[in-house]
Structure 1
């Protein structure tokens, strides 16, 4: 059996005001069906978020089609390769927000949060401060179970269970971070961009988002200053700094991350239970979060 990595997985998002969502949904469903793609596309009033998988030719045709929409002409994406399509079906959904924060929708035309690219961030972390000599603090915007798979060294991790908790947390800790340069980060850029815009709105003076998130950082500079792997919301579960799938899996029943060591435990039964949920009453299969891998 061939294990050639002949499928391309693209993760992309853009904050942009979209108004014709029902029309767009029908168009995206038809286009993805025609090209045989699988994955998830979220359409919202504040923008688009997608993780789509298929053969190279189909992905290239799809991206050309997406970028033919003037609002998305500058859409950027991240790629990884796999031996099979990384999702089992194709879903095009309309949501209220790209990622649920329950705060005012982002209006990119009103201004964006500053971003720092991977190479610049590595330099800052190497030297211990930004280019103005201000200490740099890394801030997690991901959920606690994602952080446990891997994160940057010496990171502020407020152990949030869902992103909608983030605004209250950063408001409470604002005074502690005065005089620091705060860099928010996440898997692929969505949550940290939204987080940084919100933080700027409530008065954080020096806040940046990591452009492209952890996955772009891995792609451009590798694993320096990062410990562990990066959780992703598809069948691969986690990627290492070389962007290769790891042996970590996610429990079908409770969605907890199960490490290779935990997979050796008798409580780990594929598709049934894991050490996190074994013995708990009536654990129903959880639905994956609305995050797609660009998150």
Structure 2
């Protein structure tokens, strides 16, 4: 019996919000302790706490808990330990991060704000904890026991699920007399926007929140309460669904299975009712072990064994269908010599017409199968657009055609057309090094600009703080000469750009990497910084930053950005980059991990060079990810 217990496997989950005085010390403790005990999984350490999901032998996990409890920092921590079988599916275990030990220091334990520079709500303002028994009692009595001291008990009661849609598909709380709100979100970082959009539905009600283990409700409940009057009565299930199911083994008010982020995939109760259904045929089904995914957004989908045997190659999740993504995740024209450029560029249609353009995607067309290539999201510079950037990188795309698919998107901030009369500025002639600065700017000899209908829209990822997007997009005469350092003041507009790109990730992803030019490179670095903070967003495997600059203070990140990076910029000699100085690109380089960063310096100005030896260096970098 003792030998069997010694060999029994288990999974341990716990988190603790507390001020961590020494991040490095705690990192080395976890590294040493987990390795010595043979524990695998994920450990996230931040100045505001720790979040741990690890697996191993039950005896080792119990030793780990004993050591952690001796640390005053973890006083009051709820350790959720469950026995389980050893991983039977190596692919699932690897996907869940349970074939290795990953310990990372991050800026915040849970990132709730989409903006890298904004603070998350104070965890001290989180909703009141209810034990599993209290939570059950409230649901049973339809909210009549929430308030003490004779407070108003006639308010409504709503139940808010703080999890992602692929979790709620297979299990959720269902109570006849209580409205359950399921945000139907792909990732946790989408929850604040949902709360904002449904704030009136929440106002004035008693709000009961729940998630898998409790950590997501801590931040989300604090966010709701931060809205002030009418949002005070927020309560959260202590220990999450896991503790509730331990207290009520028959499931209680929770129907179906609890989705978990480890090799167990899900945990059920004694109640064997199936809540989920097959995406294709609608039959009851709740098994994610096949790891079927939406062809558009790569979110997990439920496809029954029978439908999988039919070898359907494309699955479209309910959210992509809702956003009119239809039967085809991507519609691609069959290319003919007379309808393509020399590069072979074709148009990619999407649910956001006019915002996205692409070089051919690697997929199956008319029965022809090609090996997968790297999908790279391309972010243009200030006062450019997707079409313009696509044209300027046509040579690059042609030389990478066997390795990569480039996807171009317009930034969300549309800029006004600006012109300067010739008399106010000498005409040095446009060239590639000044194209971004001068594109969309008229230097015509006459004072009148060309007709508006003859001009293509121009966009930006980041704008001046005083930018007024309601000012219209007609031609305007520049009030003063262009400031070559204007990019340093373009610090506003990130929220809108980030929200737009999250939609791109969901509807057009996944992407292997990101390529940014000038301001687009600054935006790409901001995305990489955001991904360091939030595990729920898609992580790029690499970043290519061309003539870039940084808007991130080294004080705003912990350590270096871990994303492998390729930095391409002018060396300050020859044909100098007149827009972005070499030092600005070096400052951007300094944010990334030196061990995985590659630098290409050239003498060609504000462009992406494609001649030898530079293109060979680009190919060598990309080859690492094929």
TM-score (norm 2): 0.41
Report what 2:103 is aligned to. 92
Q: 1:260 to 1:241 in 2, by over 3 A?
A: farther
Report what 2:45 is aligned to. 43
Report what 2:143 is aligned to. 129
Q: 1:64 to 1:237 in 2, by over 3 A?
A: same
Matches within 5 A, 1:73-88: 73-84=75-86, 87-88=98-99
Q: 1:84 to 1:68 in 2, by over 3 A?
A: same
Indicate whether 1:174 and 2:202 are aligned. Answer: no
Indicate whether 1:290 and 2:518 are aligned. Answer: no
CA distance in 1, matches of 2:307, 2:21: 46
2:238 to 186, 198, 211: 211
- Following superposition, the deviation at residue 91 of structure 1 comes to 1.2
CA distance in 2, matches of 1:199, 1:219: 28
- 8 Å contact from structure 2 (residues 161, 210) kept in 1: yes
Report what 2:164 is aligned to. 143
Q: 1:283 to 1:39 in 2, by over 3 A?
A: farther
Indicate whether 1:53 and 2:55 are aligned. Answer: yes
CA distance in 2, matches of 1:283, 1:82: 38
Report what 2:190 is aligned to. 165
Which deviates further from its counterpart, 30-39 or 226-235? 226-235
CA distance in 2, matches of 1:82, 1:267: 32
- Following superposition, the deviation at residue 283 of structure 1 comes to 9.6
Report what 1:186 is aligned to. 211
CA distance in 1, matches of 2:206, 2:38: 45
Q: 1:114 to 1:63 in 2, by over 3 A?
A: same
Secondary structure at the aligned position of 1:258 is classed as coil
Q: 1:252 to 1:29 in 2, by over 3 A?
A: farther
Indicate whether 1:104 and 2:119 are aligned. Answer: yes
CA distance in 2, matches of 1:250, 1:16: 38
CA distance in 2, matches of 1:116, 1:283: 50
CA distance in 1, matches of 2:243, 2:212: 9
- Following superposition, the deviation at residue 247 of structure 1 comes to 4.1
- Following superposition, the deviation at residue 98 of structure 1 comes to 2.1
Report what 1:231 is aligned to. 259
Report what 2:477 is aligned to. none
Segments of 4+ moved more than 6 angstroms = 283-287
CA distance in 1, matches of 2:211, 2:18: 20
Report what 2:65 is aligned to. 63
Secondary structure at the aligned position of 1:234 is classed as coil
Q: 1:275 to 1:161 in 2, by over 3 A?
A: closer
CA distance in 2, matches of 1:202, 1:208: 15
- Following superposition, the deviation at residue 263 of structure 1 comes to 6.3
- Following superposition, the deviation at residue 20 of structure 1 comes to 1.7
- 8 Å contact from structure 2 (residues 78, 239) kept in 1: no
CA distance in 2, matches of 1:71, 1:290: 24
Larger RCO: Structure 1 or Structure 2 (Cα < 8 Å, ≥ 6 residues apart)? 1
- 8 Å contact from structure 1 (residues 150, 230) kept in 2: yes
Q: 1:187 to 1:157 in 2, by over 3 A?
A: same
Q: 1:279 to 1:170 in 2, by over 3 A?
A: closer
Q: 1:125 to 1:217 in 2, by over 3 A?
A: same
Q: 1:283 to 1:143 in 2, by over 3 A?
A: farther
Q: 1:64 to 1:188 in 2, by over 3 A?
A: same
Structure 2: gaps (5+ residues): 88-92, 148-152, 273-285, 318-326, 330-362, 364-371, 375-508, 513-533, 537-626
- Max radius of gyration: which structure? 2
CA distance in 1, matches of 2:241, 2:105: 26
- Following superposition, the deviation at residue 227 of structure 1 comes to 2.5
CA deviation digits over 1:1-36, x for unaligned, max 9?
xx9981121110111122422221122111111111
Q: 1:42 to 1:106 in 2, by over 3 A?
A: farther
TM-score (norm 1): 0.83
CA distance in 2, matches of 1:119, 1:159: 27
- 8 Å contact from structure 1 (residues 215, 243) kept in 2: no
CA distance in 2, matches of 1:252, 1:261: 11
Q: 1:250 to 1:183 in 2, by over 3 A?
A: farther
Provide the aligned C-alpha RMSD in A: 3.2
Structure 1: gaps (5+ residues): none
CA distance in 2, matches of 1:169, 1:205: 18
Q: 1:92 to 1:22 in 2, by over 3 A?
A: same
- Following superposition, the deviation at residue 279 of structure 1 comes to 8.2
